[in-house]
Amino acid sequence: MPADPQDAVSHALDGPPPESGQTGRILYARVRPNEDLVHTIEKLCLQHGFADAVVRGSLGSLSQCCLELHTGVRIDVPGPAVEMLTLMGEVRSTDGAPYAQLSGTVADPEGRIFAGRFVAGRNPVCITFEITLEEWLADAHAA
């Protein structure tokens, strides 16, 4: 019996429904040396009143890096300078506390490429790190 194409659609819809809303303010920030990338993005959202935000851009390097794979395995990428190639993610607030989920790709000093989710508290900035955050304003009926 052939597979029903509707089954694939229903599986794709098993997750949470799409959220509608609009973008708000944009924040450009410089993260200083030895500050943790994930924690600093959370602090920036808190300081500037962003309940939710999308990471829109980045430029910089980390002293070292710790990534988590979808399996839960962690990868430590040693420095002295781990270059950020891509960074994407979002910040969501629960009970007023921001929580950043950031994923991306990095290159170690030897040019090897690694990808995964950045582990909070384990990704110190090397010299500086430029970040762009865009506030996300969910529609009231979506919340």
Q: What are the angstrom distances between the C-alpha of 32 and each of 23, 63, 71?
A: 26, 12, 31
Q: What are the angstrom distances between the C-alpha of 140 and each of 20, 36, 93?
A: 9, 33, 15
In a domain, 12, yes or no: no
Render pLDDT for 99-117 as a digit per residue (tens, 0 to 9): 999 999 999 999 999 999 9
User: pTM of this prediction?
Assistant: 0.85
In a domain, 96, yes or no: yes
Please tell me the predicted confidence (pLDDT) of residue 15: 67
Number of structural domains (the chain) is 1
| CA distance from start to end of the chain | 41
CATH at 116: 3.30.1330.80
What's the domain range around 73? 20-138
Tokens standing for residue 90: 């979002």
In a domain, 97, yes or no: yes
